[in-house]
């Protein structure tokens, strides 16, 4: 209904950014309940699949469409005590790679943006729980380029990917993590 309402009012969707995200509780596999796994994977992977499926028919009718998956630099290391999140983000990325191959013949580009620690509520909760840091700005000195990644930094990568300057880019993952952690914060 949501996509139909949008298309009725504005026409077919030309850009979809799959950005819904939640964290897992940071437990080992042995201590993770199946409900948590379902909840996290559903939010990241199943929702991205469902929304993409809904907008693709309209995108195919246009000269160009773009689907962006907001993943995570966590897929670089796939650390311990994060199986639901790691599984969800790698499933989302696999969906992106598959879609990029299926839909390029229809002019649809599908790419991944994988940020590191970003100054958001989710980032604050993560650092409070894992490092006892309540103010992310306290991490600036230990971060690449002397600051915690900002939402605008991620948005700038998305803007590039949906612009004409990236008209020949599909099936790519772009990390937005300043090249990786220097110290505190992953």
Residue 85 annotated among the catalytic residues of the structure: yes
Give burial (CB, 10 Å; 0-12/13-18/19+) of 63: exposed
For 135-166, letters b (16+ CB in 10 Å) and e give ebeebeeebbeeebbeeebbeebbeebbeeeb
For residue 20 the two structure tokens come to: 């819904």
Q: Measuring CA to CA, which residue among 78, 83, 85, 75 is closest to residue 21?
A: 85
Q: Which two tokens stand for residue 1?
A: 């209904």
Identify the active-site residue in 85, 97, 168, 175: 85
Q: Which residues are catalytic?
A: 85
């Amino acid at each position: 209904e949501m996509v139909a309402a949008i298309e009725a009012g504005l026409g077919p969707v030309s850009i979809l950014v799959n950005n819904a995200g939640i964290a897992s509780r940071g437990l080992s596999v042995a201590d993770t309940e199946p409900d948590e796994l379902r909840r996290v994977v559903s939010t990241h992977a199943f929702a991205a699949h469902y929304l993409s499926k809904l907008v693709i028919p309209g995108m195919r009718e246009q000269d160009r469409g773009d689907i962006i998956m907001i993943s995570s630099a966590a897929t670089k290391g796939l650390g311990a005590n994060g199986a639901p999140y790691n599984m969800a983000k790698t499933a989302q990325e696999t969906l992106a790679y598959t879609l990029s191959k299926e839909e390029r013949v229809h002019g649809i580009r599908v790419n991944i943006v994988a940020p590191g620690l970003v100054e958001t509520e989710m980032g604050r909760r993560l650092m409070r729980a894992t490092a006892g840091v309540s103010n992310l700005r306290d991490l600036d000195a230990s971060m690449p380029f002397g600051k915690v990644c900002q939402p605008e930094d991620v948005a700038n990568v998305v803007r590039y990917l949906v612009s004409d300057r990236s008209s020949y880019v599909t099936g790519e993952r772009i990390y937005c993590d300043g090249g990786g952690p220097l110290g505190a914060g992953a």
